[in-house]
């Protein structure tokens, strides 16, 4: 029978624990959402300040989105993945589990809050998946400016919303025809949405599963 790393007891327990942690942090998240800083969510310049307020809050993708990431990684037989926005590493766990079940590969993931990068490293180690993951610490605009893989099969955008279009430009040269770009809460970045839905024929793009935009590189 085919392996499903997500069903391993250590990952089930870890994802359950991280889900409880995320539920407990909802009041703190709500407080930031209702504060004067909420307008910084889509900022292209003050995103560091905004995410500083969220540095102890996990902000993970939902289980449904996590399972979708696993399925898309498996079904496309992806080997090279890039993630913008690691946080505590929940989405990275789903992606890395799929890489494991694909027979191997590598994820580059990016996080500028040092305590979050450390927690992600701990969680990925506990999941037994850290050997597939490179965590680039620092602002992704800088850490993705060099040493990208020649080819990327899948990109997940889940960091500062105002930067989606800029991050896509950074990594675009590595996207092979047929590769997928998934953008969480893409409606917060109209510049990105119009980029991937434009009629230049470089992407085919559809809104999917709530707030997720899925785009395929055409050529």
Residues near ligand SAM (CB under 6 A) are: 47, 51, 59-61, 85-91, 110-113, 116, 139-141, 158-160, 163
Taking the complex as a whole, how short is the minimal distance between the CB of residue 157 and ligand SAM, in angstroms? 9
- Shorter beta-carbon distance to ligand SAM: residue 20 or 204: 20
Query: What's the rounded Cα separation, in Å, for the pair 150 and 162?
Result: 26
Task: Please report how close the Cβ of residue 218 comes to ligand SAM at its closest, in angstroms.
Answer: 26
Specify the residue, 89 or 105, whose C-beta has the smaller distance to ligand SAM.
89
Q: Which helix (H) or strand (E) holds 165?
A: helix 164-171
3-state secondary structure of 61: coil
CB-wise, 85 or 105, nearer to ligand SAM?
85
Q: How many Å apart are CA 84 and CA 192, to the nearest integer?
A: 14
Closest to ligand SAM by CB, 69 or 193: 69
In Å, how far from its chain's centre is CA 17? 20
The set of residues, in sequence order, having a beta carbon less than 8 Å from that of 58 and lying 6+ positions away, is 18, 21, 22, 25, 87, 88, 90
Helices (H) and strands (E) counted in the chain, each on its own, are 9, 7
Min. distance of Cβ 26 from ligand SAM in angstroms?
A: 14
Using alpha carbons, list the distances in angstroms from residue 91 to 146, 191, 199: 23, 24, 30
> Minimum Å distance from CB 39 to ligand SAM?
16
Query: Smallest gap, in angstroms, from Cβ of residue 40 to ligand SAM?
Result: 11
Shorter beta-carbon distance to ligand SAM: residue 75 or 115: 115
Q: Name the residue with the smallest CB distance to ligand SAM.
A: 85
Distance of CA 149 to the CA centre of its chain: 17
Q: What is the DSSP letter of 3?
A: -
126: Cα within 13 Å, side-chain hemisphere:
18
Strand partners, 203: 217
Q: Name which of 90 and 189 has its Cβ closer to ligand SAM.
A: 90
CB of 95 to ligand SAM, least distance (A): 9
């Amino acid at each position: 029978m085919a392996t499903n790393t997500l069903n391993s007891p250590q990952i089930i327990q870890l994802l359950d624990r991280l889900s409880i942690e995320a539920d407990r942090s909802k009041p703190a998240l709500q407080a930031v959402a209702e504060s004067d800083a909420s307008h910084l969510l889509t900022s292209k310049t003050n995103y560091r300040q905004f995410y500083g307020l969220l540095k102890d809050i996990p902000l993970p993708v939902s289980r449904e989105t996590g399972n979708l990431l696993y399925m898309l990684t498996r079904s496309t037989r992806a080997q090279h993945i890039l993630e913008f926005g690691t946080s505590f590493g929940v989405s990275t766990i789903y992606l890395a589990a799929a890489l494991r079940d694909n027979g191997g590969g590598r994820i580059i993931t990016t996080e500028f809050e040092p305590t979050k990068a450390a927690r992600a490293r701990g969680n990925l180690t506990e999941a037994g998946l850290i050997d597939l993951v490179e965590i680039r610490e620092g602002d992704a605009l800088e850490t993705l400016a060099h040493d990208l893989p020649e080819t990327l099969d899948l990109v997940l955008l889940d960091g500062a919303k105002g930067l989606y279009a800029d991050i896509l430009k950074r990594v675009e040269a590595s996207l092979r025809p047929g590769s997928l770009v998934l953008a969480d809460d893409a409606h917060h970045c109209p510049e990105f949405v119009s980029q991937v839905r434009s009629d230049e024929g470089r992407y085919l793009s559809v809104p999917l599963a709530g707030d997720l935009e899925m785009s395929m590189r055409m050529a």
